[in-house]
Amino acid sequence: MKKEIPLAITFLTGLIIVVTFFIPHQPLGTMQQRLLIWYSIVLGFTMLLGVDSLLRSNLKRLVGRTPGWPYAAVLLAGFAFTLAAGIYNWATTRSLLTLGSPFMFVYTFVIVPLQATMFAVLAFFIASAAYRAFRARTLEATLLLVTAAIVMIGRVPVGAELWDKLPVLADWIMEVPQMAAKRGIVIGVALGTIAMSLRVILGLERTYLS
């Protein structure tokens, strides 16, 4: 039961979606639209997964005064404050996107700088890696490095200042050899995805149930 019903659900829903692609007429068309809406609704619930364990483990850290508990306090305070700001927004405007509202304040001045800076830090790591790790040890590695160099310089304004053909060369790399390899990869991935999707629908691939 614990395996058969999920397999049957996957088979039926997958089959309906494939069949309605070819026969979009009633009642299949409406049935597909309903399934798509359901998919959207159910997937929304996954946003809540993980929140419970996050809160529970940090509450435990805080109450038990385990090492690093002040950080748990910061996490929980951030959660509570944002939740309060969002609830206030919702209660007053029925929207979370109202400009100038407390929730948008949290988004603009807390979430954005934190997330954006975490990714900006990667620029420094890539610089350090460029210095220490990128070595032209083999022909393949040399090819990679030379292409990277042409694209890096050719795609920014200084490229044209150095040599006016450099941007043209960079564009050509992107549009011909680079594109050809990516197309080869994409065709392979598409074949793989189709095969895997078929296996999932037919119940041959069951790893998602483990």
Contacting other proteins within 63-102 (CB under 8 A)? 68, 71-72, 74-83, 86-87, 90, 93-100
Q: Which pair of structure tokens corresponds to residue 141?
A: 């590695």
Find the binder of other proteins among 64, 143, 163, 165 (CB under 8 A): 143
Find the binder of other proteins among 44, 67, 91, 204 (CB under 8 A): 44
- For residue 68, how many C-alpha atoms fall within 13 Å in the half-sphere facing its CB? 7
Find the binder of other proteins among 39, 60, 163, 165 (CB under 8 A): 39
Residue 204 interacting with other proteins (CB under 8 A): no
Which residues in the 162-201 window bind other proteins by CB under 8 A?
Answer: 167, 170-191, 193-194, 196-198, 200-201
Q: Which pair of structure tokens corresponds to residue 85?
A: 């700001």
C-beta of 64: minimal distance to other proteins in Å? 17
Which residues in the 7-26 window bind other proteins by CB under 8 A?
Answer: 7, 9-18, 21
E strand or H helix at 13, and its extent?
Answer: helix 4-22
C-beta of 91: minimal distance to other proteins in Å? 11
String of DSSP letters for 44-85: HHGGGTTHHHHHHHHHHHHHTT-TTHHHHHHHHHHHHHHHHH
How many of the chain's residues bind other proteins (CB under 8 A)? 149
Find the binder of other proteins among 63, 109, 165, 204 (CB under 8 A): 109
Tokens 């590695």, residue located: 141
Distance from first CA to last CA of the chain, Å, rounded? Answer: 14
Residue 120 interacting with other proteins (CB under 8 A): yes
Picking from 13, 6, 8, 19, the residue whose alpha carbon sits closest to that of residue 37 is 13
Picking from 22, 64, 15, the residue whose alpha carbon sits closest to that of residue 197 is 15
Which residues in the 123-142 window bind other proteins by CB under 8 A?
Answer: 123-124, 126-128, 130-136, 140-141
